[in-house]
Chain A
Amino acid sequence: MSQTIEIGKLTDIPKLGSRVVKTKQGDIAVFRTMDDEVFALHDSCPHKQGALSQGIVHGKSVTCPLHNWVIGLDDGEAKGHDKGCTKTFEARLEGGMVYLFLEDVIAA
């Protein structure tokens, strides 16, 4: 079963930064851009599973702290010559609150 979950206020996430939401499917990194857009990715770089939540955010990208892979926030795809993809989740901003759309939250 899938559902939309309120995870916190936009202002709880630093501009050009990220916060982690712990779920049963693993950590999800929720990003906030300069223009206050929010994106959510599995907190794991497709290269060597670096924590993307710890990366530097620029435009709609984040640079993984382990080996500088640049991952698109909107599609989870590695940029440039690197090949790989991180799972994306739907994140929405309504009335200053951030919502995550998760499938199978209550995983067996």
Chain B
Amino acid sequence: MRDKLVVIGNGMAGMRTVEELLKIAPDKYDITVFGAEPYGNYNRIMLSPVLTGEKTIEEIMINNLDWYKDNNITLHAGDDKKAVNIDRRNQKVIAADGTEAQYDRLLLATGSNPFIIPLPGHDLDGVISFRDIADVETMLKASKEKKHAIVIGGGLLGLEAANGLMKQGMDVTVVHNLEVLMNRQLDEPSAKLLEQSLVERGLKFKMNANTSELTADENGHVKSIVFSDGEKLPAELVVMAVGIRPNIELAQKVGLHCERGIVVNDTLQTFDPKIYAIGECIQHREELFGLVAPIWDQAKVAANHLAAYGIGIYRTQATSTKLKVTGIDLFSAGDFSGDDDTDEVIFQDPKRGIYKKVVLKEDKIIGSVMYGDTMDGSWYFQLMKDGTNVADFRDSLLFGQAHMGDSGHAGVNAAADLPDSAEICGCNGVCKGDIVKAITEENLYTLDEVRASTKASASCGSCTGLVEQVIASTLGGDYNPSESQKTICACTSYGHDQVRDAIKPNNLKSFHAVSHFLEFSNADGCHVCRPAINYYLLAAWPGEYEDDLASRFTNERMHANIQKDNTYTVVPRMFGGVTTAKDLRVIADAADKYEVPMVKVTGGQRIDLVGVKKENLIPMWKDLNDAGMVSGHAYGKALRTVKTCIGSQYCRFGTQDSTGAGIRIEEMTWGSWTPAKFKIAVSGCPRNCAEATIKDIGIVAVDSGWEIYVAGNGGIKVRVSDFLVKVATEDEVLEYTGAFMQMYREQGHHNERTAPWIERVGLQYIKDQIVENAEKRKAYYEGFLFSQKFSQKDPWKERASEGVAQNDFIPLAEV
């Protein structure tokens, strides 16, 4: 016997909750839905493009009637099916025509009503709001028969309505009661630029206006609008877009506690524990809602509780706004007006119609407004949500992310202007057109959904920003770059830090202990969370946690890099990039003996034996081990190489023995597992021949000692490393290196290189603990050395001579 769930409201919020619920508990409920509109569930935020003729009603349907059938959902839709009463004692919902539905749990998703200013004449024919399909149909009809339209309200919705009506050929005037358009999203300079662009397109404005009445013609249809200053304008269609009010009529009627909205707690429960509420009708911690992103988050939490998981907690995340008027770029997020405690960083170029403002408080972004160039909107928004300290790049903040120099997509950073044929994702060959098509046809909203559907940015991730821009420019206003906290993967609603922080206090010592404790949706996790959590456990319990090979990506399980034809590549370690004729002979002999098709020199100063068959790995390692060689970990999220230049031993410019130092560093650090691959280089003088300043740690010798740089990157996104400290001796170099590595090992997210890590936590935060605080530095360094006691075992030797994990390399049977 299934429980009964009744949903009042067949809109985006209610159905998103049902979708989330079907994902996690498909068989828990028999579901009945009441909706006052005679349609399936459509995407209300796309009504603007329908009005402009860029989309059709069919194109904006999220769940058509078949979806309800396919999921055994009973839908009562239409005017006479509007829910008019709830019998809370007997747990029944009653519709206008007397239809009844019994519930065990009830979800209210009644949305909101447009606010109508009670002017004389507000109830005349031809005075409407801009809220649903019926309104859009009225507007389209009016645009064919009438000429003069008035839109009251210069906010987001009003401007979209005005733009649509103008596109349909009407003469439109926007009436706004203030001097600043979109005053909730824009400051004065950006609003003026917007007004100017809209005037150029043909819209008219009456600002600071006070409307006194609407007058009628002989048929009771609106004819004109009269202002308090006596001006009168022809008005054959009046659209009121001055805000929305939560629709709490039914909730109030049946005695649920309401203030401005239906009051809910952090689990979206109303004062009646059987009744949940979500979306524009609710009030959560004094806040009301009108954008889609927070409502998606609410849907996740409500579904989590309806499914009886009971672990979701709803918290409002910051939101951002864009205007869905084709060709107008504006972006706004957070607190953009600032106060006495904030700084404003402003870029203005009126001739090009560009204005950017970022508001900072204690070197963190708290808001931003951009007009004309919104390319970096989602970047600022992310920095704001992450609370990133921007002190280190304040000087170039307004020039955007472009100076970060992505590789692999021709340095292009502005997706909106690209043609559909432009390749966005260079790894998987996904064009802009493919992504746009997937978003519109499959109703995708998030980066994860787009990734799953198109594979764009699913490989190396360097085009993630571009893909997000395509999503933003396709979805317009309500795209929220990261709709909720970044979770590790779909198995859990927790992020990396939350999972990590749960491990030690709760004494979790295996993947299944973690997935059980945090109630993962899949007990075994997936290929994303398993390796991540295996690493976190390894870092949390050095010497105690036994590495789980089943959670290792094949490269790390087989201790060799898998290639496209399922052969492997073997890379012996060469400490500091130094080898000998004897070692080279052994490598050459192995290449002959095991018929290695390609012998290659790597970028990290060692030799690649490419294309080794799986069954030859163990005997080949045995030969290399016998000559004293060990694994180079070229396959691991681990210390890779320590690249060096010749240094003072031979070089006429060398100031210090960089080769010797590099060997010492590699001897100390080899075998360590890190959140992502870790590269070190040592240069013997400021000519920096080892290119140390694009490594995770780069050491540059000067006459008086060593300069240490951190968090450089030469790959996906080139990043020049930051200067950390200058020291006098090699021993200090080792100490700082070990300390920095250990801090990163303990705090970096799995698969996050040091470059994005430092941009997330800030250089100063690292300096505070590694440079300013000798005690902390020593503790990290000792922690690193302790962990190394257990990890400096050559995995090749373990497998070739000590019988570890032999089964990975040999078939179970031959038949």
Interface residues of A (CB under 8 A from B): 5, 7-8, 12-17, 19-24, 27, 30, 33-34, 48-51, 54-59, 61, 63, 65-68, 70, 80-81, 100, 102, 105
Q: Would you give 19 A-B contacts (Cβ < 8 Å), ordered by A?
A: A14-B807, A20-B812, A21-B813, A24-B815, A34-B524, A50-B562, A51-B562, A54-B554, A55-B527, A56-B527, A58-B524, A58-B525, A58-B526, A59-B524, A61-B526, A66-B564, A68-B527, A100-B815, A105-B815
B562: which of A17, A23, A24, A65 is its contact (CB, 8 Å)? Answer: A65
Do residues A19 and B527 form an inter-chain contact, with CB atoms below 8 A? Answer: no
The stretch from B375-383, B418-426, B452-460, B763-771 touching chain A is B452-460
Mask of B51-63 contacts with A, CB within 8 angstroms, 1/0: 0000000000000
- Chain A contacts of B512 at CB under 8 A? 34
Do residues A20 and B530 form an inter-chain contact, with CB atoms below 8 A? Answer: no
For the complex, give the distance between the alpha carbons of A63 and B459 in Å.
14
For the complex, give the distance between the alpha carbons of A48 and B562 in Å.
13
A16: which of B453, B524, B553, B566 is its contact (CB, 8 Å)? Answer: B524
Do residues B554 and A57 form an inter-chain contact, with CB atoms below 8 A? Answer: no
- Complex: chain B residue closest to A43, CB-CB: B566
Given contacts A19-B807, A34-B523, A68-B458, contact A5 B815 (CB under 8 A): yes
- Chain A contacts of B564 at CB under 8 A? 48, 66
B233 lies within 8 A of chain A by Cβ = no
For the complex, give the distance between the alpha carbons of A23 and B280 in Å.
61
- Complex: chain B residue closest to A30, CB-CB: B812
- Chain A contacts of B530 at CB under 8 A? 56, 58
Do residues B553 and A17 form an inter-chain contact, with CB atoms below 8 A? Answer: no
B531 lies within 8 A of chain A by Cβ = yes
For the complex, give the distance between the alpha carbons of A60 and B314 in Å.
32
B566: which of A21, A30, A50, A63 is its contact (CB, 8 Å)? Answer: A50
B581 lies within 8 A of chain A by Cβ = no
Do residues B815 and A102 form an inter-chain contact, with CB atoms below 8 A? Answer: yes
Given contacts A5-B815, A49-B566, contact A57 B526 (CB under 8 A): no
B558 lies within 8 A of chain A by Cβ = yes
- Complex: chain B residue closest to A58, CB-CB: B524
Give the distance to chain B from A48, nearest Cβ to Cβ, in Å.
Answer: 7
For the complex, give the distance between the alpha carbons of A13 and B239 in Å.
69
Closest 4 CB pairs of A and B: A63-B527, A19-B812, A54-B554, A58-B524
- Chain B contacts of A14 at CB under 8 A? 549-550, 807
B811 lies within 8 A of chain A by Cβ = yes
Give the distance to chain B from A1, nearest Cβ to Cβ, in Å.
Answer: 13
For the complex, give the distance between the alpha carbons of A7 and B814 in Å.
8
- Chain B contacts of A61 at CB under 8 A? 526
Give the distance to chain A from B652, nearest Cβ to Cβ, in Å.
Answer: 48
Do residues A65 and B553 form an inter-chain contact, with CB atoms below 8 A? Answer: yes
Do residues B527 and A58 form an inter-chain contact, with CB atoms below 8 A? Answer: yes
- Complex: chain B residue closest to A23, CB-CB: B815
For the complex, give the distance between the alpha carbons of A27 and B458 in Å.
29
Do residues A63 and B815 form an inter-chain contact, with CB atoms below 8 A? Answer: no
Do residues B807 and A22 form an inter-chain contact, with CB atoms below 8 A? Answer: no
Give the distance to chain B from A26, nearest Cβ to Cβ, in Å.
Answer: 12
B319 lies within 8 A of chain A by Cβ = no
Give the distance to chain B from A36, nearest Cβ to Cβ, in Å.
Answer: 13
B522 lies within 8 A of chain A by Cβ = yes
Residues of B564-595 contacting chain A, CB below 8 A: 564-566
Do residues B812 and A56 form an inter-chain contact, with CB atoms below 8 A? Answer: no
- Chain B contacts of A19 at CB under 8 A? 807, 811-812
- Chain B contacts of A27 at CB under 8 A? 811
For the complex, give the distance between the alpha carbons of A102 and B807 in Å.
23
A22: which of B458, B527, B813 is its contact (CB, 8 Å)? Answer: B813
A-B contact count (CB 8 A): 98
- Complex: chain A residue closest to B805, CB-CB: A14
For the complex, give the distance between the alpha carbons of A40 and B111 in Å.
51
- Complex: chain B residue closest to A62, CB-CB: B527
Give the distance to chain B from A84, nearest Cβ to Cβ, in Å.
Answer: 13
- Complex: chain B residue closest to A80, CB-CB: B452
B551 lies within 8 A of chain A by Cβ = yes
For the complex, give the distance between the alpha carbons of A99 and B454 in Å.
39
- Chain B contacts of A13 at CB under 8 A? 812
- Complex: chain A residue closest to B529, CB-CB: A58
Do residues A81 and B811 form an inter-chain contact, with CB atoms below 8 A? Answer: no
Give the distance to chain B from A65, nearest Cβ to Cβ, in Å.
Answer: 4
- Complex: chain A residue closest to B512, CB-CB: A34
Do residues A54 and B558 form an inter-chain contact, with CB atoms below 8 A? Answer: yes
Given contacts A14-B549, A14-B550, A81-B453, contact A57 B524 (CB under 8 A): yes
Give the distance to chain B from A23, nearest Cβ to Cβ, in Å.
Answer: 5
Do residues A54 and B524 form an inter-chain contact, with CB atoms below 8 A? Answer: no
Give the distance to chain A from B569, nearest Cβ to Cβ, in Å.
Answer: 14
Give the distance to chain A from B809, nearest Cβ to Cβ, in Å.
Answer: 10
For the complex, give the distance between the alpha carbons of A23 and B531 in Å.
31
For the complex, give the distance between the alpha carbons of A97 and B552 in Å.
26
Q: A12-B807, A34-B524, A65-B562 given; name 17 further pairs at CB < 8 Å.
A: A8-B813, A19-B807, A19-B812, A20-B812, A22-B815, A49-B565, A49-B566, A50-B566, A51-B562, A55-B554, A56-B531, A58-B522, A58-B525, A58-B530, A66-B564, A70-B527, A81-B452
Give the distance to chain B from A107, nearest Cβ to Cβ, in Å.
Answer: 11
Do residues B550 and A66 form an inter-chain contact, with CB atoms below 8 A? Answer: no
Give the distance to chain A from B13, nearest Cβ to Cβ, in Å.
Answer: 26
- Chain A contacts of B549 at CB under 8 A? 14, 17
For the complex, give the distance between the alpha carbons of A20 and B512 in Å.
26
For the complex, give the distance between the alpha carbons of A51 and B562 in Å.
10
Give the distance to chain A from B458, nearest Cβ to Cβ, in Å.
Answer: 7
- Chain A contacts of B552 at CB under 8 A? 56
Given contacts A21-B813, A54-B562, contact A63 B550 (CB under 8 A): no
- Chain B contacts of A100 at CB under 8 A? 815
Give the distance to chain B from A58, nearest Cβ to Cβ, in Å.
Answer: 4
Which one of B455, B459, B512, B531 has the highest number of Cβ atoms from chain A below 10 Å of its Cβ?
B455
Do residues B554 and A21 form an inter-chain contact, with CB atoms below 8 A? Answer: no
- Chain B contacts of A49 at CB under 8 A? 565-566
